[in-house]
């Protein structure tokens, strides 16, 4: 590995506050209290396969029941529910309509300029069928990959479900990524169609999505892409390429409102979603049909337990896994009402979220710690101006939440009245893995508490041995679960090496290594301590340091670059780059700006370095590895501690200190 991960595992402060589970008034709670919870945990532990079998039969619709629950004969490649036939869009739409819920609102959407749409299950079903038929007209067949590069509009969810309906895996690319990043993902996935919009509203600007698609496709650089379907959203003028580009509003409305759901095999791909790792280019995480559907469905039901009259809001973007599992698939598979918002809070609209909660009477609110910290900073007087009394449950996801932010969230937004669910998971896990069940598990500020039923986790050292209570170590998952990623698109070797062979296997058993450090306390509660690999988490967005380094060195003036995360009060981590220049090139303020925009162009605005430091040399070991640990200390203004004896040239450190 390129750096020394264990250096970052250190014990965090003890947190002694405990909050008792909440007793919601419920006719039928999905998990009604501690006894019920323990019963489920125990039965999942005693007979895991029977447990998953029962849940899969109870919670999903099957055109044909499965023959086996789990095939783990070729680890780390799992097969779940083999022999079964189902369809995720059927589970999200048809079965609710067949249950008399056709008139229930599936999606409430509020656009950035304040326009609102309410879409019932019946209407959503018809839109999905029409879009599915249009995709077929564009030549899309089962197994073909469809890419989405969309703003947060209902058409994004419609397109995802339409793909699922006809068995075309989707690959959603976050609209904030650059055309370069989009191109890489289109090429890697061999996408046949791109669904996009003329533009999207982002903060107070309009981003030109269609232009970015045009740039990505220039010079026939993605030869597999035959058509581009464009939603009209901002009325930007866009160039149109006849024979390749189609307007959504011209192609979709005339389609038939019926499109039978394809009978999919359990292990057929549902989607590919790219995420950053510690080496090389982003990897396409593959999720398949039944296992993913079951996991998104069950976790949503267990944790949020949304009642028929309730409105649930997750503030993520559909471009991330949180949007996939907890805006689209989890809520819709459960027949819930999911709220979707096109915008984000910002200085010009600081009360945007609270206004929405008041206006749409949101009951369950799920957001990221970075947003909470930003709200804290602008003061409680803003949320205090709104009626937030509809809220009954608050969730967080994406990064560790510090106890102060947790307490503020509880007191100011939840008025001491709403439990907080801190949910730990990843793109790779498909759904939440560690989280309190609000009716059953006491919470402690800053802890994601305990693994969900059926999930077995541990904290181990580099030898794969469990560490003692309160000792830091690597967080691992010890058994396969239905929502686990199946492989990396086109690179099963990397899948095995990154997740299953990073740590030494114990007794020949493969365990999944998540990339995070953690500690388990005396009550069995887990405290996530952040990434221990070369991945950084900036405002809940995951970025590979090497990805940013390659973006920097792709600039002709840059010889070498090393990127590290520096702790940041608001963003969690901020990106700091150390750069050496090609000989004959000079450091300058202008070059600094140029290099920052170069990274934005290569990856997207989320990867813009906060700081770039020019240096004559980078600290390296004798074998040529960059010593990121030293750079991390320098970037955070800490004293460089620990062993520096492997440093090849000690003068480098002295120079950097200056
Ligand atoms: C990484 C996964 C899961 C959806 C959003 C991010 C960090 C996520 C928590 C949490 C501490 C968390 C981890 C993880 N993370 N949730 N509740 N507490 N850390 O998905 O982009 O795949 O990133 O986010 O470091 O490995 P992702």
Distances (CA, A) of 416 to 388, 394, 410, 412, 575: 12, 11, 5, 8, 35
Cβ atoms within 10 Å, residue 369:
25
Cα(180)–Cα(189) distance, integer angstroms: 14
- Output the CA angle 435-438-441, nearest 5 degrees: 70
Residue nearest to atom 5 of ligand 1 (CA): 398
Please name the residues in contact with 505: beta carbons below 8 A apart, sequence gap of 6 or more. 464, 511
Among 320, 312, 333, 300, residue whose Cα is nearest residue 101? 333
Q: Please tell me the predicted confidence (pLDDT) of residue 620.
A: 87
- The structure tokens 């999942």 sit at 44
Q: Which atom of ligand 1 is nearest to the CA of 322?
A: 4
Among 449, 159, 432, residue whose Cα is nearest residue 297? 432
Beta bridge partners, 579, equal 561, 614
Burial of residue 589 (number of CB atoms within 10 Å: 0-12, 13-18, 19+): exposed
Q: Which atom of ligand 1 is nearest to the CA of 530?
A: 25
Q: Is the peptide bond before 452 cis (omega within 30 degrees of 0)?
A: no
Please name the residues in contact with 142: beta carbons below 8 A apart, sequence gap of 6 or more. 166, 167, 168, 262, 268
Query: Cα of 567 to ligand 1 centre, how many Å?
Result: 16
Query: Cα of 277 to ligand 1 centre, how many Å?
Result: 13
Please name the residues in contact with 276: beta carbons below 8 A apart, sequence gap of 6 or more. 282, 535, 542, 543, 544, 547
- Output the CA angle 65-67-73, nearest 5 degrees: 140
Residues 373/344, Cβ–Cβ less than 8 Å? no
Residue 176, SS3 per DSSP: coil
Tokens matching residue 658? 């200056």
Cα(533)–Cα(472) distance, integer angstroms: 15
Q: Please tell me the predicted confidence (pLDDT) of residue 630.
A: 87
Among 61, 59, 119, 58, residue whose Cα is nearest residue 90? 61
Query: Cα of 26 to ligand 1 centre, how many Å?
Result: 31
Tokens matching residue 383? 């949320």
- 433 CB near ligand 1 (under 6 Å): no
Residue nearest to atom 18 of ligand 1 (CA): 400
Burial of residue 97 (number of CB atoms within 10 Å: 0-12, 13-18, 19+): middle
- Residue ranges, the chain, pLDDT below 70: 1-14, 25-28, 641-642
- 315 CB near ligand 1 (under 6 Å): no
Please name the residues in contact with 301: beta carbons below 8 A apart, sequence gap of 6 or more. 30, 59, 330, 334
Query: Cα of 613 to ligand 1 centre, how many Å?
Result: 28
Q: Which atom of ligand 1 is nearest to the CA of 542?
A: 21
Which of 275, 327, 542 is the pocket-test mutation for ligand 1 (most atoms within 8 Å of CB)?
542
Cβ atoms within 10 Å, residue 469:
12
Cα(614)–Cα(627) distance, integer angstroms: 16
Q: Please tell me the predicted confidence (pLDDT) of residue 27.
A: 59
Query: Cα of 542 to ligand 1 centre, how many Å?
Result: 8
Beta bridge partners, 395, equal 366, 421
- 395 CB near ligand 1 (under 6 Å): no
Cα(446)–Cα(406) distance, integer angstroms: 7
Beta bridge partners, 274, equal 284
Residues 413/384, Cβ–Cβ less than 8 Å? no
Cα(647)–Cα(630) distance, integer angstroms: 10
Cα(183)–Cα(50) distance, integer angstroms: 44
Distances (CA, A) of 34 to 31, 94, 438, 505, 549: 8, 34, 10, 34, 48
Query: Cα of 540 to ligand 1 centre, how many Å?
Result: 7
Tokens matching residue 293? 């559907």
Residue 369, SS3 per DSSP: helix
Query: Cα of 119 to ligand 1 centre, how many Å?
Result: 31
- 526 CB near ligand 1 (under 6 Å): no
Q: Please tell me the predicted confidence (pLDDT) of residue 203.
A: 84
Cβ atoms within 10 Å, residue 302:
22
Predicted TM-score (pTM) of the model is: 0.95
Residue nearest to atom 10 of ligand 1 (CA): 424
- 573 CB near ligand 1 (under 6 Å): no
Query: Cα of 67 to ligand 1 centre, how many Å?
Result: 34
Q: What are phi and psi of 628, to 5 degrees?
A: -65, -30
Cα(86)–Cα(80) distance, integer angstroms: 13
Query: Cα of 405 to ligand 1 centre, how many Å?
Result: 17
**Element at 21 (helix H, strand E):** none
Handedness of CA 371, 377, 383, 389 (dihedral sign): positive
Query: Cα of 329 to ligand 1 centre, how many Å?
Result: 19
- 531 CB near ligand 1 (under 6 Å): yes
Cα(630)–Cα(588) distance, integer angstroms: 25
- 542 CB near ligand 1 (under 6 Å): yes
- Output the CA angle 242-247-251, nearest 5 degrees: 105
- 427 CB near ligand 1 (under 6 Å): yes
């Amino acid at each position: 590995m390129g750096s020394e991960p264990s250096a970052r595992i250190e014990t965090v402060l003890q947190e002694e506050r405990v909050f008792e589970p909440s007793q919601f008034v419920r006719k039928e709670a999905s998990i009604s209290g501690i006894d019920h919870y323990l019963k489920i945990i125990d039965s999942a532990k005693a007979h895991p396969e029977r447990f998953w079998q029962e849940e899969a039969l109870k919670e999903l619709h099957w055109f044909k029941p499965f023959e086996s629950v789990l095939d783990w004969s070729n680890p780390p490649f799992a097969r779940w529910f083999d022999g079964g036939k189902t369809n995720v869009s059927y589970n999200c739409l048809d079965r609710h309509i067949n249950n008399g819920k056709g008139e229930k609102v599936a999606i409430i959407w509020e656009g950035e300029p304040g326009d609102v749409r309410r879409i019932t299950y019946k209407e959503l079903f018809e839109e999905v069928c029409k879009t599915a038929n249009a995709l077929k007209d564009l030549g899309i067949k089962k197994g073909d990959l469809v890419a989405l590069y969309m703003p947060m509009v209902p058409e994004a969810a419609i397109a995802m479900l339409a793909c699922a309906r006809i068995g075309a895996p989707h690959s959603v690319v976050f609209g904030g990524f650059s055309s370069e990043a989009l191109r890489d993902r289109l090429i890697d996935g061999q996408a046949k169609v791109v669904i996009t919009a003329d533009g999207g509203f982002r903060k107070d600007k309009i981003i030109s999505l269609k232009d970015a698609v045009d740039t990505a496709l220039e010079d026939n650089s993605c030869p597999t892409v035959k058509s581009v379907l464009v939603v009209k959203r901002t009325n930007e003028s866009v160039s149109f390429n006849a024979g390749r580009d189609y307007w959504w509003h011209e192609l979709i409305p005339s389609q038939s409102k019926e499109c039978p759901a394809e009978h999919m095999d359990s292990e057929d791909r549902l989607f590919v979603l790219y995420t950053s790792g510690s080496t090389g280019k982003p990897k396409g995480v593959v999720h398949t049909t039944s296992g993913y559907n079951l996991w998104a469905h069950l976790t949503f039901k267990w944790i949020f337990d949304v009642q028929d009259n309730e409105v649930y809001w997750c503030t993520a973007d559909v471009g991330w896994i949180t949007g996939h599992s907890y805006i689209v698939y989890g809520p819709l598979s459960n027949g819930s009402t999911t709220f979707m918002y096109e915008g984000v809070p910002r200085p010009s609209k600081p009360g945007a979220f609270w206004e929405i909660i008041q206006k749409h009477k949101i009951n369950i609110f799920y957001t990221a710690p970075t947003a909470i910290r930003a709200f804290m900073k602008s003061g409680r007087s803003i949320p205090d101006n709104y009626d937030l009394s509809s809220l009954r449950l608050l969730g967080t996801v994406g990064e560790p939440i510090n106890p102060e932010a947790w307490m503020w969230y509880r007191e100011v937004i939840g008025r001491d009245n709403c439990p907080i669910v801190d949910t730990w998971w990843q793109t790779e896990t498909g759904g939440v893995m560690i989280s309190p069940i609000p009716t059953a598990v006491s919470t402690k500020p800053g802890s994601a508490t305990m693994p969900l039923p059926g999930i077995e986790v541990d904290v181990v050292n580099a030898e794969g041995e469990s560490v003692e209570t309160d000792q830091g170590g690597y967080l691992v998952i010890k058994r396969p679960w239905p929502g686990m990623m199946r492989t990396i698109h086109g690179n099963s070797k990397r899948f095995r090496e990154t997740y299953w062979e990073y740590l030494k296997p114990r007794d020949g058993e493969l365990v999944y290594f998540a990339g995070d450090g953690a500690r388990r306390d005396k009550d069995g509660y887990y405290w996530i301590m952040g990434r221990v690999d070369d991945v950084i988490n900036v405002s809940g967005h995951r970025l590979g340091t090497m990805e940013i380094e390659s973006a920097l060195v792709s600039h002709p003036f840059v010889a070498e670059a090393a990127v590290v995360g520096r702790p940041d009060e608001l963003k969690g981590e901020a990106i700091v780059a150390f750069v050496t220049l090609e000989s004959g090139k000079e450091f300058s303020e202008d070059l600094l700006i140029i290099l920052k925009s170069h990274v934005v162009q290569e990856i997207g605005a989320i990867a813009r370095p906060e700081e770039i430091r020019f240096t004559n040399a980078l600290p390296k070991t004798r074998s040529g590895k960059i010593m990121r640990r030293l750079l991390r200390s320098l970037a955070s203004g800490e004293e460089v501690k620990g062993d520096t004896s492997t440093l090849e040239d000690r003068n480098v450190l002295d120079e950097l200190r200056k």
